A and B are shown apart, each in its own frame.
Chain A
Amino acid sequence: MNLPMLDIDRLSVSYGKVEAVREVSLRMQPGTIVTVIGANGAGKTTLLNAIMGVLPAPGAARFEGRDVSGDEVEARVGAGLCLVPEKRELFTTMSVEDNLRLGAYRLGSGAISEGLETVFARFPRLKERRAQLAGTLSGGERQMLAMGRALMGKPRLLMLDEPSLGLAPRIVKDIFHIIMELRASGVSILLVEQNARAALQVADYAYVMEIGSITMEGRAEDLAADPRVIESYLGLGGHT
């Protein structure tokens, strides 16, 4: 087994006395899509924020073999980690193109023009809207911009928090298609989703999270066939 891309060991996060994430351990191999599924409030977003360093969290986090648990967000971005947050956190009063350019802020001007080309090729929609303010975009376009901005920084591990949230089914399909393309281009992806069906379809490996802890893990196709998962997350009337 080669060196894991990401190795999280007994990570906990508390808000005051409430422990939102309890001793979660998680591993992922390079070039794979790993998904964490679970109900609303299970602590998935908190987990991603802790891995990114946005929230303080005791426990070990190793990225490509390097201990990043003491690092600030900026240093983790520099190491190749990137989070596309649930709320997208765009620079709403700035143009689409400026948002993208800032995504490559730490890489310098050489990387910007090259990155813009790649991102516009992947999201032609953003090219059409490049001069528009980010705040005027539709939900799907915002998600594309958030992903595009993240890709500008050439991450090796992209963490996506609910990329399908609030989007029309057709756009959700596009987004998941792009996620698979990204893996093919060598980016590892840690995907947090309530849309368990779609997530398990694209992922290689999956974790199920319930009230702050990992309760199940396994290959994505095995979990998709597991009766407990089917009942809780894939059953009729579940999210599509």
Chain B
Amino acid sequence: MNATIALYLAQDGIINGAIYALLGVTLVLVFAVTRVIFVPQGEFVAWGALTLAALDAGSVPGTAWLLVVMGIAATVLDTLRQSKTITLHAIGGMVVKDIALPVLLLLAVQAIAPGKPALWISVLLTLALIIPMGPLVYRLAFQPLADATVLTLFIAAIGVHFALIGLGLVFFGAEGFRTTPFIAETFRVGVLAIKGQSLAVLGVTAMLLAGLYLFFERTMLGKALRATAVNRLGARLVGIPVRSTGRIAFALAAAIGALSGMLIGSLTTIYYDSGFLIGLKGFVAAIAAGLASYPLTVMAALGVGLLEAFSAFFASAFKEVIVFSIIIPLLIWRSLKAPHSDEEEE
């Protein structure tokens, strides 16, 4: 290995690490607010990339249909669950928000997609399709279990993961896709060729992380989410609607997932099940940070990205093995360092 190769590997590692950082931070966020270890996070990554790829190709992505179906399911289930207390007004609200809007979006996509829309329109459409799925997944799968243990929620999360993978296969097929890069140019810095898309990844990641920081430190809504994470009962007692904070956390997860997918969609081929491995590496970073610290998660994610890039060079067949194996010493180190505490403190 020489310096040039090392530089290339480092560049690769940092780009991937940035994506893992986004996903890791999301996992920490979702876990803190809802106590759900959000295994299906990766599916939003894959769906973001595949939806963008479909729009690129001028076809209507399956996610447009799926959103309508999920909206109908959530409306029906919520109505049945609260059949005694629900008001007609509330049902009307759900019909408008969860069924009518997705149908309108579907019609819009059907009208726009065949004309191969400009990239930024496709990106916005993809976000509009994927973001609402976050809260819908929360309502369908996790809200009824909101008071369950972390383990139960984890099992539900694995179930949701398999369900979403299956849906991904139905809607996008087994074929892999690539998307158009946001920035197609390549820049030369000394010996290094830097893809424009890599800069896009870093720029968007930095902006998102800064945005999240401001959201949690400066806005009341962000503080309410933190408060829910710190003390759920305390949050309920001051009237913070913990259900909607859960939905907001899932909406953020879907948004960040979809954006990550669209960012890496041009750097690597994405299949319907590619999200899982990507998400899992974000998970390694989140675990390294104890599912608690955002800055540590970002640093650990960069570490994971670099480790992956260099092990791909030295032992490419074992690249995944190496990345996932470091979780074992990390867990041992954490369990020795952390004072023992019961899983459920409430």
Q: Taking beta carbons and an 8 Å cutoff, which residues of A are in contact with B?
A: 52, 54, 70, 73-74, 77-78, 82-83, 85, 89-94, 98, 101-103, 105-106, 109, 149-150, 152-153
Verify B237–A102 contact, CB threshold 8 A.
no
Q: Taking beta carbons and an 8 Å cutoff, which residues of B are in contact with A?
A: 85, 220, 223-224, 226-227, 230-231, 233-242
Verify B220–A77 contact, CB threshold 8 A.
no
* Given A54-B233, A91-B227, A101-B220, 17 further pairs, Cβ under 8 A: A54-B236, A73-B237, A73-B239, A77-B237, A78-B239, A83-B237, A89-B231, A89-B237, A90-B234, A91-B226, A91-B230, A91-B231, A92-B230, A98-B223, A98-B227, A102-B240, A150-B238
Verify A102–B233 contact, CB threshold 8 A.
no
Q: What residues on B are CB-neighbors of A54 within 8 Å?
A: 233, 236-237
How many angstroms between the C-alpha atoms of A10 and B328 in the bound complex?
54
Verify B238–A105 contact, CB threshold 8 A.
yes
Q: What residues on B are CB-neighbors of A70 within 8 Å?
A: 85
How many angstroms between the C-alpha atoms of A31 and B141 in the bound complex?
45
Verify A74–B231 contact, CB threshold 8 A.
no
Residue pairs across A and B with Cβ atoms less than 8 A apart, 18 shown, are A54-B233, A73-B236, A74-B236, A77-B236, A83-B237, A91-B226, A91-B235, A92-B230, A93-B230, A94-B223, A98-B223, A98-B227, A102-B224, A102-B240, A105-B224, A105-B240, A149-B238, A153-B238
A-B contacts counted at CB < 8 A amount to: 69
How many angstroms between the C-alpha atoms of A54 and B239 in the bound complex?
12
Q: Identify the closest chain A residue to B346 (Cβ).
A: A89
Smallest distance from the beta carbon of A108 to chain B beta carbons, Å? 9
Listed residue (B85, B235, B239) with the most chain A CB atoms within 10 angstroms of its CB: B239
Partner among B85, B223, B230, B238 whose Cβ is within 8 Å of the Cβ of A77 = B238
Smallest distance from the beta carbon of A198 to chain B beta carbons, Å? 24
Q: Identify the closest chain B residue to A84 (Cβ).
A: B237
**A77-B239 contact in complex given A70-B85, A89-B234, A105-B220, C-beta closer than 8 Å:** yes
Partner among B85, B223, B234, B242 whose Cβ is within 8 Å of the Cβ of A101 = B223
Smallest distance from the beta carbon of B215 to chain A beta carbons, Å? 14
Q: What residues on B are CB-neighbors of A74 within 8 Å?
A: 236, 239-242
How many angstroms between the C-alpha atoms of A91 and B224 in the bound complex?
10
Q: Identify the closest chain A residue to B226 (Cβ).
A: A94
Q: What residues on B are CB-neighbors of A91 within 8 Å?
A: 226-227, 230-231, 234-235
Q: What residues on B are CB-neighbors of A92 within 8 Å?
A: 230-231
Smallest distance from the beta carbon of A114 to chain B beta carbons, Å? 15
Smallest distance from the beta carbon of B217 to chain A beta carbons, Å? 10
Q: Identify the closest chain B residue to A73 (Cβ).
A: B236
Verify A94–B227 contact, CB threshold 8 A.
yes
Q: Identify the closest chain B residue to A49 (Cβ).
A: B233
Q: What residues on B are CB-neighbors of A109 within 8 Å?
A: 220
The 9 A-B pairs with the shortest beta carbon distances in the complex, nearest first, are: A89-B234, A77-B239, A106-B239, A73-B236, A91-B230, A91-B227, A74-B241, A103-B238, A89-B233
Q: What residues on A are CB-neighbors of B223 within 8 Å?
A: 94, 98, 101-102
Smallest distance from the beta carbon of A98 to chain B beta carbons, Å? 6
How many angstroms between the C-alpha atoms of A103 and B239 in the bound complex?
8
Q: What residues on B are CB-neighbors of A106 within 8 Å?
A: 238-240
Q: Identify the closest chain A residue to B224 (Cβ).
A: A105
Listed residue (A93, A149, A152, A153) with the most chain B CB atoms within 10 angstroms of its CB: A93
